[in-house]
Chains A and B, each alone.
Chain A
């Protein structure tokens, strides 16, 4: 099974298991409601380059920086948003935190994972706002990933 397959399977499992209570399918907000800040995205870029770009590429398009590595799922822009359409940021956060980087899951701090998500939104041309994305599952569960505003 490829990475994307595993990611989708895992996210489905997450939805139906332990984190079901925080996956609010009637999320009150979407990523388009200025849910992160530019400063947070900048911090996320730093974390991303050290931990993620090797496989997901510096453009976040899934084109691995190392030619020996296989491509990975894109982490930004249209294809990323399409793959995650309808899920909440809580699912994305939990999947990322528990499975990435593949050889050492959880090796980033929880704040770094949140900052990386802010960076992914920033590269996806999702507008930033005044308040940072908070490290709070309930809050993240209320923010839906949608392909467009």
Chain B
């Protein structure tokens, strides 16, 4: 598939879809199967015919602009997986997404997917085999014993009451048992399903957070560097991979892909693009249709709190280039429906799947978990990539309006890095390493400058009034993930770990292993600039001098920093404070104390003692005295979401009376009750939802 052109293999012809592909259906076959399933011709219409369709009113009196068997809100890891699965099983599928392109946050992920339960990749590595295409040339990274797994062990792991993490919280104890069981049972099938849809997995190595402590279950998605980008062949050009030039990524992959030689072999590159683009390619090939630039806002149900879910109402939310004002367009176009009306209604003849993500980008919603995080200065991860409609709580809000229940809301606080301080400075969009080359780079202007933990000893960190608030060295430290082979809190590392053992949370042990620096909480604390009613804590700044730049060889230039309100340089501290106040959109008050803070700090450096925060214990202290002086933003990031809609083991949304809401499913970060980080949750949820939606009665 070439950029912005219909591919030669998936055009408009009746046999456009390769019938040789596993699960693939040609359009002719699809029509045949669709007819058996009772799918009307209107749902099968191509782009043009779908647009021309006259609104139809059904018994509910609603005029529908579009209809399909399965309608999915969100084209990320859960949505795309659900779409392909339902399509494979014979349904017509329409996906709406608020962004200009597909993939959601999967596209900017590292594609580290922790499944398990004896999944096919674990089996492959146990057998010492390589992948079918022969790309993998390294030996298995884990021993056989570390990969021997079962659904029972996986289920036990993800519901283990005894695990307490280094933050003193319990990542598995509160998981919904039915949901966790269904997840564990579907992990092996989901891994195979993804492989059947062009996703290539590396050797197994460790486990992602929330994926259990007993076995290694994580594999990373990769592509091979080659002369052309070809999903079927599994190759990608150096330019598309973002490895030709370290300071340039591509429309294909917003973040430069990582070197996967250790996990795969020479010339392998890995990140979320290898996963997301593979699934997207397959979805478009199989005839799934997409309406982009469109944010779903409302679930249409027969009655406000009763009856079946009939469809969605969605708003036009075009993403425009911040400089040119032109609408951004998706990398690939096949299957896109061009639709610019303000509001449309979409009828789901079988079911709606909510896969539109979590709440991390909605300060008002996330404020229910940590009121200080109502501070709008701090974004969700992927702000530039997804825009303001990303992770905005759409599914939760719409679900609540029709009576859905919530689940696991407290679990937003029981994942160790739900929110954290980024070591990437000088950009508001501080989670990713997106570089110029991706269409949304203009929303961040600078990639930021990742100084790592070690870089935090090079500056003083101040709050919105210019006061230090914590030991800089401790500020960004994060506790370890609750994952194999350890560091997750339990005393036994690797195969020595014993699940369901009371000693895992014996208080003497927890006291010993507790390892959380509360720098983030100090950063969010009220200060002299916090005002009623919200008492926002305000932006955070790293303040340093030219000597720090010289010591570290920091390259403070574009694209790492830019004149975008998150990087400042001045000849005096007073001037620096004025520039920050004038130039940053969230700097509501002057940094009145900054000059005094720097003077005091320099005296502490002379004395070798920091009586305020005992920095001398944590690392070297350096003067901030050599002009010019610099300020880089320090960002708190709300990484992802755990609390959300309550679903059962089929991913059906459940209401507050414990009853299934007919015709409504949800997966990924839109649901709660499963404290599993990242892709492993979303893909399996999507697979389960896609499996069961086709069992719904078809109202056609």
Q: Which residues of A contact B (CB under 8 A)?
A: 1-2, 49-51, 53-54, 57-58, 61-74, 77-79, 82, 101, 103-104, 107
Contacts and interface: CB of A to CB of B under 8 A. Distances in A.
B451 interface: yes
Q: Point out which of B110, B454, B678 has the most chain A C-beta atoms below 10 A from its C-beta.
A: B454
A62 B65 CA distance: 53
Contacts of A107: 138, 141, 262
Contacts of B478: 70
A64 B208 CA distance: 16
B258 A54 contact: yes
20 contacts: A49-B259, A50-B259, A53-B258, A54-B259, A57-B450, A58-B246, A62-B455, A63-B452, A65-B258, A66-B112, A67-B422, A67-B433, A68-B109, A68-B112, A68-B678, A74-B454, A82-B620, A103-B141, A103-B206, A104-B205
B261 A49 contact: yes
B12 interface: no
Interface in B367-420: 381
Contacts, number: 88
Contacts of B454: 61-62, 71, 73-74, 79
B451 A63 contact: yes
A148 to B, nearest CB: 13
A61 B450 CA distance: 9
Interface in B102-149: 109-110, 112, 138, 141-142
Given A62-B453, A65-B433, A66-B110, A71 B261 contact: no
Classify the interface of chain B: helix, strand, loop or mixed.
loop
Contacts of A68: 109-110, 112, 208, 678
Interface of B: 109-110, 112, 138, 141-142, 205-206, 208, 246, 258-262, 266, 271, 381, 422-424, 431-433, 450-455, 457, 476-478, 480, 485, 515, 551-553, 620, 678
B258 A78 contact: no
Nearest to B453: A71
A104 B262 contact: yes
B262 A67 contact: no
Contacts of A104: 141-142, 205, 262
B246 to A, nearest CB: 7
A80 to B, nearest CB: 9
A61 B422 CA distance: 15
Given A61-B451, A70-B453, 16 more contacts: A50-B259, A50-B260, A50-B262, A57-B452, A61-B450, A62-B453, A63-B455, A66-B112, A69-B110, A71-B423, A71-B452, A74-B452, A78-B552, A103-B142, A103-B206, A107-B141
Q: Point out which of A2, A73, A103 has the most chain B C-beta atoms below 10 A from its C-beta.
A: A103
B553 A77 contact: yes
